[in-house]
Chain A
């Protein structure tokens, strides 16, 4: 799984100089089949000239007088999701990539979309387990206290057999929509974890999470009832104590948290409950 910009950036970087002509820059873009060149002065990036800049400028001009001076860049250790968010927010197509303030690569929107597509569930449009693992390990490494909620559809296999897979898919989409519109981007991270499981990693306070989970269950119940779908959902919740975790231990700890949440969900189901919290 590829989650960091450095894994998919293109290198070496093809660049232009301030005093190059726009015509020369255009020819270089054509030669390498690329749509933009970072502009370098004294070894540092000072702007970018894109095919759009070339179209809007006289070919006799120098790059300095045609380039976009406001240069937005990204660190090579940023996640692919963060990089995509930067591109969308700034309405740009490419980002120069830095390591210790040195230009080391380029990443484009199309590079990111390919990788993001591999981490997106085609049915619900949610991120898949790779995303939640990346987020979880990062938060643990940063010493954040996280709580894992695992939502499990009860007897989903039987539901599919009885009502058909199309109805089953409809059910999954409805639940994913309820969860998507209820989470907050600053605290909650959602994914479709397995066939009939959804995981939320949250940095909300422990005493808030149980009530919030109950609210989510009620919202789901209301929505599936409105659509005449006879399905129940259980949620298991597990929490960790805040302390910085070495990067090589974060993965194992996250495994435990997700596993515990899964077991809690199963136990809740067996005991006729819809929610159980452990840890």
Chain B
């Protein structure tokens, strides 16, 4: 009877590689950083300054589970910072805690109705 080593004719490995485009920066529109998250606002600031200089604002949060929010500046042209922070904090705390880092994609559409004289 043949041993397993005598039966073996060769060994192969199958490698799976998935390639996709790296997002610059990799945080989309908003990043919510928890107080005990693996990264803090200083590290995030360095990352966005290196990858997308002058495009993000770091907002420290005084109290609660969230330590800071990182917001894409272009969003603030459509929505005030205070309103944005309130909404994002409220929604992200439903899914996250102080050890989380949450990224958010935010689409803002401003609908305007006006009356003009014909």
Interface mask (A2-25 → B, CB under 8 Å = 1, otherwise 0): 000000000000000011000000
Interface 9-mer from B4-12, B19-27, B34-42: B34-42
Stretch at the interface among A59-67, A124-132, A189-197, A248-256: A59-67
Which B residues touch A44, using CB under 8 A? none
Interface size grouping (class) on chain A:
10 to 19
Q: Is the CB of A62 within 8 A of B37?
A: no
Q: Which residues of B contact A19 (CB under 8 A)?
A: 46
Contact pattern, B 16-55, Cβ under 8 Å of A = 1, otherwise 0: 0000000000000000000011111111001000000000
Q: For A57, what are the chain B residues with a Cβ–Cβ distance below 8 Å?
A: 36, 40
Q: Which residues of B contact A66 (CB under 8 A)?
A: 40
Interface of B is mostly: loop
Would you list which residues of chain B between 53 and 69 have a CB under 8 Å from chain A?
none
CB distance from B60 to the nearest CB of A (A): 11
Q: CA A19 – CA B39 in complex, angstroms? A: 12
Name the residue of chain B whose CB is nearest to the CB of A59: B38
Assembly CA distance A157 to B6 (angstroms): 103
* Contact status A62-B43, CB under 8 Å: yes
Interface: A58 (CB within 8 A): yes
A133 vs B55: C-alpha distance when bound (angstroms): 61
B42-A62 in contact (CB<8A): yes
Complex Cα distance, B37 from A58, in Å, reads: 7
Q: Which residue of A lies closest to B67 (CB)?
A: A65
- Nearest neighbor of B33 in chain A, beta-carbon distance: A65
Give Cα A57 to B40, complex, Å. 10
A64 vs B99: C-alpha distance when bound (angstroms): 17
Question: Are the CB atoms of B46 and A58 closer together than 8 Å?
Answer: no
CB-nearest residue of chain B to A60 = B38
Encoded as 1 (CB less than 8 Å from any B CB) or 0, chain A from 53 to 96 comes to 00011101110111000000000000000000000000000000
Residues of chain B within 8 A of A60, CB atoms compared: 38-39
- In the complex, the chain A residue whose C-beta lies closest to that of B68 is A65
Select the residue from A58, A65, A66 with max chain B CB neighbours within 10 A.
A65
Binding site for A on B (CB under 8 A): 36-43, 46, 99
18 A–B contacts from the bound complex (CB under 8 Å): A56-B36, A57-B36, A57-B40, A58-B36, A58-B37, A58-B99, A61-B39, A61-B40, A62-B39, A62-B43, A62-B46, A64-B40, A64-B42, A64-B43, A65-B40, A65-B41, A65-B42, A66-B40
